[in-house]
Amino acid sequence: MDGEISFDVLFGGNPLPITLPLGATVLDLKDMLEMYTNVPVQRQMLLNLVDNKDQTQLASMDLSGVEMVEVENNEQQQQQQPAAIDPPVIPQPPPPMMVDDVDDVGQDDMLIDPPNIVGGNNNNNINNQPFIDVDEDIDDDDDDADNQIFQNNRYATNYFPNNNYNDRISPHALTDFLDQLSYPAFSNDIFNEFKILVPQTFEGSYKEALSQAKRTGKLVLTYLYDPNNPDYTSFCFDVLQTNEVFEYVKNNYVFWVGTVDTDSLIFLVNLMPSFETLPIISIVHNAGGTPQVLQLLQGETDKDIIYNHLVTEYSTKMAELNRVKAEEEEKESQRRIVEEQDLAYEEALRADKEKARKEEEEKRRVEEEEKQVQNKKEQKLGRMALVPPEPAKGPEATHIIFKLPDDSKIERRFNSTDTLQTLSDFLDGSGVDFEGYQFITMYPKKVYTKKEYNLTLKETGIHPQSILNVRDESD
């Protein structure tokens, strides 16, 4: 198959330009990525591809937003499996309870207990609706209805295709989803409404918050809440405005706030099947390639518990955060050096271009002046055509010797009826380079200028012969 396909693959925050034959497969893409990144094929995970099978042709899929992340090998994953916020693994929800099973259990047994959350408040006194309700019939029709809700929901882009819990969510999709919940004016609005100070909310996207935390050696404190629930004020009064929490978050955390409404709650529940209640407080670490959730608290408003988590997690990660901060500062320093070098190069390039431009302008000016001088010279030489032919010796012929400033001489006969203008035309045509002429007789001395050019040689007394000193009219 002729032709090529070109697209970008995001890796480590940088786009990699990829060009492959039109018939290339997913395996061909992985082989090229291994050459680019030195990440072995078996440790590559491709996100945002509809079909990740090695033999699937790339041209059959939408290749916009493809991302490659490096995953650990199986032994490392068994030894250490940190919770990752980007991209999260969506567990398969429990199978629906069949009608035949109802006779063997009581109604209370049909409620699905939420799984344990790291650092969570896992009591069963949940004010929000449970994830699965005993009164709901769990069948395929309900799944179809949920999918229809997703399709009509403004959050339903590529986050949860077909409600398949086995799919991994794209990191871009996750951060884009959170960005739609962003509430950067939270701290200002709290002050305007309640006249209390809470930590300043980060004014940027969630991805920018993660980057800011990495650059500054901080963790990300994420707060998701329902503004329609009046209980959120207790979190502000009892936790955020307290001196310990306020100062600790200000100095060691990037505080990012998002609001959850009915539509976004549907997606939040499907994003996190272990959802219990709002508010959700998460502490996120972004030192490596993939951010990690260190703590996830649901419905917790106890200041001491939250403060202890804040201090513990930051203290545990402080050495690594400082190391990453130093690395980021070094990268930033190198980036500034490169930027300054680029600016210096661009400035030198602009100076060279400006110099070349001025030189070109000067060259054109000189050429134009030379052209004008040449045209003027040619015009003066052409005035010889205005001079009558030299007459033979006779009573009506005037013999004139022109004596030039350089002591050179030119002799010629003219008609006695020729004018001084004829003498001027003759000298022009002879190549004398004067703007105008003064004709000066010797005895008696007379000076004839342009205003006398209409006089004939007889009228001036130059006839029948004369020696004329020739001077430039400007002298």
Query: Would you state the pLDDT for residue 155?
Result: 46
Name the pairing type of β-strands 67-70 and 292-298. Answer: unpaired
Q: Tell me the pTM.
A: 0.46
What lies within 8 Å, CB to CB, of 360 at 6+ separation is none
How many other CB atoms are there within 10 angstroms of residue 317's CB atom? 20
pLDDT the model gives residue 102: 33
User: pLDDT value at position 311?
Assistant: 96
What pLDDT score was predicted for residue 471? 93
φ/ψ bin of 282: left (φ > 0), alpha (ψ from -120 to 50), beta (otherwise): beta
Other beta carbons within 10 angstroms of residue 332's beta carbon come to: 12
The pairing of beta strand 437-441 with beta strand 446-448? antiparallel
Over the stretch 390-434, which tens digit does the pLDDT of each residue have? 999 999 999 999 999 999 999 999 999 999 999 999 999 998 988
For 274, the token pair is 């272990």
Indicate the class that CATH gives domain 140-328.
Answer: alpha beta
Residue 120 backbone phi and psi in degrees, to 5: -90, 170
Q: What is the pLDDT of residue 385?
A: 92
pLDDT of residue 408: 93
Task: Please give the structure tokens belonging to residue 275.
Answer: 């959802």
pLDDT, position 81: 43
pLDDT of residue 108: 37
Kind of pairing between the strands at 465-472 and 397-403:
parallel
pLDDT given at position 348: 94
Domain ranges of the chain: 4-81, 140-328, 387-472
Main-chain dihedrals φ then ψ at residue 414, nearest 5 degrees: -130, 160
pLDDT number for residue 2: 56
C-alpha span between 416 and 403 (Å, rounded): 20
Query: How much is the CA Rg of the chain, to the nearest whole Å?
Result: 46
Q: Which residues of the chain have pLDDT under 70?
A: 1-2, 73-174, 288-289
Q: Would you state the pLDDT for residue 387?
A: 94
Judge if 4-81 and 387-472 fold alike in CATH terms: yes
Pairwise CA distance, residues 405 & 463, whole Å:
23
pLDDT of residue 300: 85
Q: Which pLDDT does position 227 carry in this prediction?
A: 87
Q: What count of other Cβ atoms lies within 10 Å of the Cβ of residue 269?
A: 14
Is 4-81 CATH 3.40.1280.10?
no
Which CATH number describes the domain made up of 387-472? 3.10.20.90
